Amino acid sequence: MTEQIIDRRPPVTKTGVLGWIRSNLLFPWYNALLTIFAGWAIFSAIKPFVQWAIINATITLDPTVAKEYSGAAWGFIRDMWPVFMVGIYPEEHRWRPAVALLIVLSLVMLTLVRKFRGTKWLYTLWGLSPIAVFLIIHGGFFTGLEVVDTHYWGGLMLTLILASVAMLFAFPISVLLALGRSSDMPVIKSFCVAYIELVRGVPLITILFMASVVLPLFLPTDMELDKVLRAMVGITMFFSAYLAENIRGGLQGLGKEQYEAADAIGMGYWQKTLLIVLPQALRIVIPPMVNNFIGILKDTSLVGIVGLVDLLQIAFATTSNPKWFGRLEEAYVFVALWYWILCYSLSRYSQHLEKKYASK
């Protein structure tokens, strides 16, 4: 009889927690050094931050008490957070942005319900929501609400409004630009190419300056555009060029046979474009469009340079207030947290969409 060899257990250093640590952190020798270095770097960055933000921090609402602590005074954020959210929007009307937010959030919730997705009434509600949000925040017209001028808009609200408006208006413009750029009519094509390349070649700040200083010169003498509107025009102009390039990528990604099939069954240009080309092309470019929206959201911070008080500028506005003078660090961490959460979640969403479409 052959002797049976008893199974040996795998070596301890290759499996389990110990094996993982050995292979991922300590082997070979220089990896161990790198681990120590990285650990030290993380520790030396985290330690002062934790000390400042948690251990030595206070959440008291009284600035004189807060001065006794060496760390952060989070009471400043507690005290000022409505200002961070809506800027100098009048205090007695602050419920209105909240209602607007509620409308958008409830629409998002409804969209999350699988049964409602793709129904006509939901599309209609989404289509009407920008008008509703504008009417509630701005007031006036037939609503009977007191008018709150755009001059009073600020904070996170202004940042989100600027980004959404830019996306909303840039989208149709960019579709037209992309179609124009891939058309074979020389005048239209060259106009679209010139517009896209001109805008993509210059910094956003020069476009914003143009919208705020030069645009009023181009308009009739008796016409006045307010500051927020001018910034919106600038950002929309800027992003429609970038978006157009993305959409053009989608148009090029479409097989030639789609165009030929549409031609073969006798469709006209607009029928072909609206029913065959765009639905497929736009589907491909949704993930890059979400990335584009992240770009818009980050770049709205530049409107501070032309004098609007967005989420970033609120940090300066609130800390120049004598009550909480010079609490810039707290304001920055708070503002950065907002930007980061918004942008990070959007970028995760775009990655998710990319995976979803790639698997189809």
Q: Residue 102's beta-bridge partner residues?
A: none
User: Given candidates 68, 218, 255, 265, which one binds another protein under the rule CB under 8 A?
Assistant: 218
Least distance in angstroms from the C-beta of 86 to another protein: 19
Least distance in angstroms from the C-beta of 319 to another protein: 10
Judged by CB under 8 A, the stretch of 23-31, 60-68, 105-113, 148-156 that binds another protein is 23-31
Return the closest-CA partner of residue 92 out of 143, 158, 139: 139
The amino acid at 205: I
Those residues with Cβ within 8 angstroms of residue 331's Cβ, 6 or more apart along the chain or in another chain: 76, 77, 84, 314, 315, 316, 318, 319
Least distance in angstroms from the C-beta of 193 to another protein: 13
Judged by CB under 8 A, the stretch of 1-9, 68-76, 79-87, 207-215 that binds another protein is 207-215
User: Given candidates 88, 173, 267, 343, which one binds another protein under the rule CB under 8 A?
Assistant: 343
Based on the shown chain and the rule CB under 8 A, indicate whether residue 225 belongs to the binding site for another protein. no
- Nearer to another protein by Cβ, of 103 and 353: the residue is 353
Distances (CA, A) of 170 to 159, 183, 222, 323: 16, 19, 27, 41
User: Given candidates 214, 261, 274, 275, which one binds another protein under the rule CB under 8 A?
Assistant: 214
Q: Report the distance separating Cα 196 and Cα 344, nearest Å.
A: 28
Least distance in angstroms from the C-beta of 63 to another protein: 20
- Nearer to another protein by Cβ, of 99 and 261: the residue is 261
- Nearer to another protein by Cβ, of 93 and 298: the residue is 298
Q: Report the distance separating Cα 310 and Cα 318, nearest Å.
A: 12
Judged by CB under 8 A, the stretch of 2-10, 96-104, 168-176, 186-194 that binds another protein is 186-194
Least distance in angstroms from the C-beta of 172 to another protein: 17
User: Given candidates 17, 187, 265, 358, which one binds another protein under the rule CB under 8 A?
Assistant: 187
User: Given candidates 188, 282, 286, 353, which one binds another protein under the rule CB under 8 A?
Assistant: 188
Interface residues for another protein in 277-336 (CB under 8 A)? 294, 298-299, 301-302, 304-305, 312, 315, 328-329, 332, 335-336
Based on the shown chain and the rule CB under 8 A, indicate whether residue 25 belongs to the binding site for another protein. yes
Return the closest-CA partner of residue 327 out of 70, 56, 72, 86: 72
Those residues with Cβ within 8 angstroms of residue 207's Cβ, 6 or more apart along the chain or in another chain: 199, 234, 237, 238
Based on the shown chain and the rule CB under 8 A, indicate whether residue 141 belongs to the binding site for another protein. no
User: Given candidates 50, 61, 109, 219, which one binds another protein under the rule CB under 8 A?
Assistant: 219
Count of residues that interact with another protein, criterion CB under 8 A: 53
User: Given candidates 203, 253, 279, 307, which one binds another protein under the rule CB under 8 A?
Assistant: 203
| Contact predicate 147/138, CB 8 Å | yes
Based on the shown chain and the rule CB under 8 A, indicate whether residue 194 belongs to the binding site for another protein. no
Chain residues that interact with another protein, rule: CB under 8 A: 23-25, 31, 34-35, 38-39, 41-42, 184-188, 191, 198, 200-206, 209-210, 213-214, 216-221, 294, 298-299, 301-302, 304-305, 312, 315, 328-329, 332, 335-336, 339-340, 343-344, 347
